[in-house]
Amino acid sequence: MLRSLVGSEMCIRDSPEPMDPTSIFTSKFINHFTRNPSMLQEASSSWVLVLEYPVLRDNSPVEHLAATIHEHPAKTFSCIGVAAYQVLKRRVQPDERLGRRVAVRLLHYEPSTPIRSIKSHAIGKFISIKGTAVRVTTVRPMVVQMDFVCSKCGERFAERFKDGKYQVPYSCLLYTSDAADEEDSVDLGGRRIIKKKNRIK
């Protein structure tokens, strides 16, 4: 749903059908950012939207924003990011590069949760904790997708990684063939791509 909203204002503003809660939420933030363009000043160059929670809470365009962030953080920030993307897209010049998405960062979220109070009920919720970091590791990139080239047949194929966990493919998934009568095959640009089948001897 959220992916279909990116880059498509028709889904939000001009649809004659009743909008679902997600679209209504996003639409209200589009209007909010349009009326307050200064909120997106830094995001226009970095495509990272930094929001101060006390300011956002006191000037929220939607009701029960605090509960929505706490209960459904991923969906809430995705909707806000889509809204910011829609407004920023209108300002982009033809020769400027358009970012793929807007990442939302929330600062000074409250109330703060004591570490000893973090239990299973906090799974999937948005909370704030305070403490001192006693050990840190180097920043590692999160790999979402990577292209691989088979050393045998030379075919290139994309592999997606769940939760950013990198894993080398065990075997080649594709190979080219002129055999057009294979059932388990896909035609891509005139080439016949046939899925390899492992044979047990």
The total number of residues written for the chain in this structure = 201
Specify the pLDDT at position 175: 53
The answer to pTM > 0.75 is: no
Specify the pLDDT at position 107: 93
Specify the pLDDT at position 69: 95
Which residue from 54, 38, 47, 28 is spatially nearest to 89, judged by alpha carbons? 47
Cβ–Cβ under 8 Å, residues 144 and 160: yes
Specify the pLDDT at position 99: 65
CB atoms within 10 A of CB 176: 13
AA identity, residue 60: S
Specify the pLDDT at position 13: 43
Residues 6+ away with beta carbon under 8 Å from 60:
none
Cβ–Cβ under 8 Å, residues 121 and 132: no
Which residue from 69, 144, 59 is spatially nearest to 106, judged by alpha carbons? 69
Mean pLDDT in consecutive groups of 10 residues from the start of the chain, 201 residues:
39 53 92 92 86 93 93 94 90 67 91 89 91 83 82 80 78 53 47 45 40
